[in-house]
Copies of this chain bind each other. A is one copy, B any other.
Amino acid sequence: MIQVTIIGSGNVARHLISAFSQSSFVEIKQVFARQTETLSHLIPSEKITNNFAQIQESDLYIISVTDQAIESVSAQIPFENKLVVHTSGTVSIDNLSSRNRKGVFYPLQTFSKDKKVNFKEIPVCLEAQNEEDYLVLESVAKSISDKPFNISSEQRKALHVAAVFSCNFVNHLYRIGSEICTENNIPFEILYPLIEETADKIKFLSPEEAQTGPAKRNDTTTINAHLNFLQDNTQKEIYKLLTKSIIDNGKKL
């Protein structure tokens, strides 16, 4: 068994505590939380501390705090040469204090307080400074997830940009779709099956092969009808830019 100490009490920290609690490979040695009572439903209170001086020895320390706090928190761990990782998608491994061995343990998912997730399905992006530490992180990740990935800090930066396009921006397009529906007294739920199929299809076809619609067909009659229909200038601009980008991509083939 490997002993893991978690520092933080946010959404990621809580989901990790829940997931590790069900693992027979990992023992949660201790959890650090400024407000110890916020975690009392998840873990016995004698394992929770709000005092850095009381942090005990452990095989692995997982810092799951805001990006801005990672550096200073990592400097307050009262040990040297221990394996210390953070769970951020954007912060470089270099931001961790050099007093300890550094690493990253980044679960790639949107965590909401009230929505249960199946951790087995969540990719965990791992990074370490040497092979031995990497194997420790990999075994810990495998105890809760079927999808460990070796991702460097440089790659993690790219991955975050890709996630902004494929998720944050996608959600904004859902919002525009939903606004157009509402304005025309159409229930947005009518689009759910199509949205679901669009998200599902790319597992079987590349997004390039899966592309359909008027831009893909270069159907200028429909494109112009849609532009005439749109009254909101930002929506019009987004329609034009994405249509042009789809058409240009087609020409590259």
Binding site for B on A (CB under 8 A): 90, 108-110, 112, 115, 117, 121-123, 125, 147, 149, 151, 154-155, 157-178, 180-181, 183-187, 189-204, 206-208, 210-216, 222, 225-226, 229-230, 234-235, 237-239, 241-242, 244-246, 248-249
The answer to whether B241 touches A245, judged by C-beta atoms less than 8 angstroms apart, is no
5 shortest A-B CB distances, which residue pairs?
A168-B213, A166-B177, A175-B207, A199-B199, A158-B184
* Min C-beta distance of A72 to chain B, whole Å: 17
Which residues of B lie under 8 Å from residue A158 when comparing CB positions? Answer: 180-181, 183-184, 186, 229
What residue in chain B is nearest A246 (Cβ atoms)?
A: B172
The answer to whether B212 touches A110, judged by C-beta atoms less than 8 angstroms apart, is yes
The answer to whether B238 touches A245, judged by C-beta atoms less than 8 angstroms apart, is yes
The answer to whether B185 touches A155, judged by C-beta atoms less than 8 angstroms apart, is yes
26 A-B pairs with C-beta separation under 8 A: A110-B201, A112-B201, A115-B201, A123-B190, A155-B185, A158-B186, A160-B222, A161-B230, A162-B176, A162-B191, A166-B174, A166-B178, A166-B191, A167-B212, A170-B195, A171-B212, A172-B207, A172-B249, A177-B207, A178-B202, A178-B206, A192-B203, A196-B199, A196-B200, A234-B244, A237-B241
Expressed in whole angstroms, the Cα–Cα distance for A202 and B193 within the complex equals 12
Kindly identify which residue among B173, B197, B216 contacts A109, using a CB–CB cutoff of 8 Å: B197
The answer to whether B175 touches A155, judged by C-beta atoms less than 8 angstroms apart, is no
Given A122-B193, A185-B155, A165-B173 contact (CB < 8 Å): yes
The answer to whether A194 touches B166, judged by C-beta atoms less than 8 angstroms apart, is yes
Which residues of B lie under 8 Å from residue A235 when comparing CB positions? Answer: 165
Given A110-B212, A172-B211, A155-B186 contact (CB < 8 Å): yes
Q: A160-B222, A178-B206 are in contact. List 14 more A-B contacts (CB 8 A).
A: A110-B194, A147-B190, A155-B185, A159-B184, A159-B190, A162-B178, A162-B180, A166-B191, A166-B195, A170-B174, A170-B198, A178-B202, A195-B199, A234-B245
Expressed in whole angstroms, the Cα–Cα distance for A90 and B210 within the complex equals 21
Given A186-B151, A229-B157, A171-B109 contact (CB < 8 Å): no
The answer to whether A166 touches B171, judged by C-beta atoms less than 8 angstroms apart, is no
What residue in chain B is nearest A90 (Cβ atoms)?
A: B222
Given A170-B195, A222-B90, A242-B238, A162-B177 contact (CB < 8 Å): yes
Expressed in whole angstroms, the Cα–Cα distance for A197 and B110 within the complex equals 8
Expressed in whole angstroms, the Cα–Cα distance for A215 and B171 within the complex equals 12
